[in-house]
Structure 1
Amino acid sequence: MDLYLPIAEMSVNALVIIALGGLVGFLSGMFGVGGGFLTTPLLIFYGIPPAIAVASSATQVTGSSVSGALSYYRRGQVDMKMGAVLVAGGLLGSVIGSFVFRWLKSLGQVDVTIALIYVVFLGTVGALMLKEAVGVLLEQRRGVVAPRKARHHHPLIASLPMKMRFPKSGVYISPLAPFAVGAGVGVLTVIMGVGGGFIMVPAMLYLLGMAASVVVGTSLFQIVFVTAVATLLHATQSQSVDILLALLLLLGGVAGAQFGARAAQQLQPERLRLLLALIVLGVAIRLAIGLTWTPKELFSIQLALG
């Protein structure tokens, strides 16, 4: 069943797009990640222009994160005070990211830049995850029990001025630190179309030293607001949001997340992390090949309609 995407200006098979959304939703439910960092590359592989893929992925992440944030909020696992600081930083980062996005688009370099950023980030994150997962599995095989690490924030964070208490997160730090983290994720949200959870969660744990019980919920709280603003900026400034594409992705993602959550119960957490690391590295390698491999058609004609 073919549908025409008015913003992407191309026809797609609706069932394939729903299946892509379902795959990302399955991985999201299985691994506990937002999945936005996989949605954009998969759409690019399918042939969606990178700028459209980024903007539409941000729209899908917004919709898929709302239910998760509400669920954690009802269980009291959202630090609203910390979340407000992260959102404030994220909003500033989104505005900065939108200017960078428009600048790259005016230069005609946005597609290549998006692909390069994904190769670097996914390659780095995937390699670190693979190293950790393999290390844990080897220790388990040798019967070694890894000591539990004490929770503390980074020394650089401790040196920042204007400290305040975040009782629910169990930290006494400067709000400048979470503000900066939120701003960085906000920039990436606009440029990459991701929720930023795969960066936000480790930063909250290992940089800010937040209690693990509120990390995921607070991250989702920030993602909802920042991706919503990123979507609005894309829609009003670059007109890159294809709402039909986002709806198809969201339709598949909601169903896929349910099956993914059930599948996660059948595997050990360490094996889940290993599988996710391999998937992330695979996507990074595929993007790198796409950037370096000589295309079949070296030249193409594109009509610019006024």
Structure 2
Amino acid sequence: MQLYLPIADLPVNVFLILAMGAAVGFVSGMFGIGGGFLMTPLLIFIGITPAVAVASVASHIAASSFSGAISYWRRRAIDPALALVLLIGGTIGTALGVSTFTLLRSLGQLDLTIALSYVVLLTTVGALMFWEGLLAMRRIRRGVPAPRRTHGWIHTLPLKMRFKRSKMYLSVIPVVVIGVVIGFLGAVMGIGGGFILVPVMIYLLRVPTTTVIGTSMVLTLFTMLFATVLHAVTNHLVDAVLALMLMVGGVTGAQFGARAGQKIRSEQLRLLLGLLILAVGIRFAVELVIRPTELFTIREIGVNE
């Protein structure tokens, strides 16, 4: 069954979009991430322009993160102070990201920038996660304990603040910087950033695993909600019909993914997630070198341009 998307300006198969939403929801539920890094490329691969894909997926990620954040809040697995500091940086980063997005679109370089960003980010992060998961599995087989984590130079920075829920005394500088980076990437690339934020908070900031996922979901929720509003107001690219279909499929798939994730060991999850991220990055790289079917595109411009 075909359905016309008003903002994307093309017809799509309803069952295909629902299936994509369910598949990404399954992955999100299994790995505890937003899934934007996978949904945005899938939409681009089926012909939706990167600009519309990025803007529309932001609302999908915000909706998915809302249900997750509520669940973690009820379990007292969110650090409000840490989330607030992250949001300060995230708000700044999101505003900068949407401004950059608008500028690149006006210059006609947005599609190439998004594709290159996905290639670099996903191949790098995917390879690192795959390697780390592989090393963890080898350590377990040999009975070698995991290396003990020690405090680094980040914990010597000034402007320290006490985060009671996470039981940390840490400088707000790296927390704000991380929020800026995640907010910027989310606005430009249409990713929640959970697959980057969670490892960074655990291994760099030493945030306890009991609060890290819930706190990251709060940041993702508000930055993606802010990005959706900015994209809708400044660029008019949020396709509500597309976002709604993705949400329906995503909620359904997430329930099954969460159950499947509970049956797989953490190091195996990291290994599988690394492979998935790496595969998407490689797919984008292949797209960049394949000769397009249409060598020229037509873009509508204003009378004053």
The TM-score with structure 2 as length reference comes to 0.95
Residue 69 (structure 1) aligns with? 69
Structure 1 residue identity aligned to 2:127: A
Distance in 2 between residues matched to 1:269 and 1:160, nearest whole Å: 32
Q: Is 1:160 matched with 2:177?
A: no
- Distance in 2 between residues matched to 1:279 and 1:270, nearest whole Å: 14
Q: Alpha-carbon deviation of 1:190?
A: 0.4
Question: 1:175-194, CA deviations, whole angstroms, 9 ceiling, x for partnerless residues?
Answer: 12211111111111100111
In structure 2, distance between residues paired with 1:16 and 1:229 = 28
Identify the residue that residue 202 of structure 1 maps to in structure 2. 199
User: Number of residue pairs matched?
Assistant: 303
Distance 1:83 1:144, change over 3 A: same
Match of residue 146 from structure 1: 145
C-alpha separation in 2, matches of 1:266 and 1:151: 30
RMSD (Å) for aligned C-alpha atoms = 1.5
Contact 2:133–2:271 (Cα < 8 Å) also in 1: yes
1:286 and 2:283 equivalent? yes
Which residue is equivalent to 2:82? 82
Cα distance, 1:199 vs structure 2: 1.4
Match of 2:210 among 209, 213, 217: 213
**Which runs of structure 2 are paired with 1:109-258 in the superposition (5 Å)?**
109-141=109-141, 143-147=142-146, 149-150=148-149, 152=151, 154-155=152-153, 157-258=154-255
User: How many angstroms apart in 1 are the aligned matches of 2:150 and 2:206?
Assistant: 6
Matched, 1:260 2:261: no
**Gap regions ≥5 residues in structure 2:** none
3-state DSSP class of the match of 1:78?
A: coil
SS in 2 for 1:149: coil
Q: Deviations over 1:146-178 (max 9, x none)?
A: 2352363x31x2232221211212221221221
Matched residues in 1 for 2:181 and 2:269: separation? Answer: 27
Which has the higher mean CA deviation after the structures are superposed, 78-87 or 262-271? 262-271
1:137 CA drift (Å)? 2.1
CA contact (8 A) 2:28 2:254 kept: yes
Q: How far has the Cα of 1:266 moved from its partner?
A: 3.2
TM-score (norm 1): 0.95
Between the aligned partners of 2:146 and 2:136, the Cα distance in structure 1 is 11
Partner of 1:241, secondary structure, is coil
1:274 counterpart letter in structure 2: L
The Cα offsets for residues 47-76 of structure 1, whole Å up to 9 and x where unpaired, read as 110010001111100000101101111111
Which residue does 1:44 correspond to in 2? 44
Q: Is the 8 A contact 2:2 2:12 kept in 1?
A: yes
CA–CA distance in structure 1, aligned partners of residues 270 and 159 of structure 2: 37
Question: How far, CA to CA, are the matches of 2:51 and 2:226 in structure 1?
Answer: 16
Secondary structure, aligned partner of 1:12 = strand
In the superposition, relative to structure 1, how do residues 145 and 24 fare at CA in structure 2: closer, same or farther (>3 Å)? same
Contact 2:5 2:242 in 1 (8 A): yes
Aligned to 1:96: 96
- C-alpha distance 265-206 of structure 1, shift in aligned 2 (>3 A): closer
Supply the distance in 2 between the matched residues of 1:305 and 1:12 (Cα, whole angstroms): 28
Give me the whole-angstrom Cα distance separating, in 2, the residues matched to 1:253 and 1:48.
Answer: 18
Bigger mean CA deviation after superposition, 132-141 or 109-118? 132-141
CA distance in 2 between partners of 1:127 and 1:39 (Å): 20
Cα distance change on mapping 1:265 and 1:165 into 2, 3 Å: closer
Once structures 1 and 2 are overlaid, which stretch shifts more, 69-78 or 296-305?
296-305
SS in 2 for 1:267: coil
Q: Is the 8 A contact 2:136 2:146 kept in 1?
A: no
Matched residue type, 2:210: S
Q: Which residue of 2 aligns with 1:60?
A: 60
With 270-279 and 226-235 compared, the bigger mean Cα shift is at: 270-279
d(CA) in 1 for partners of 2:255, 2:6: 30
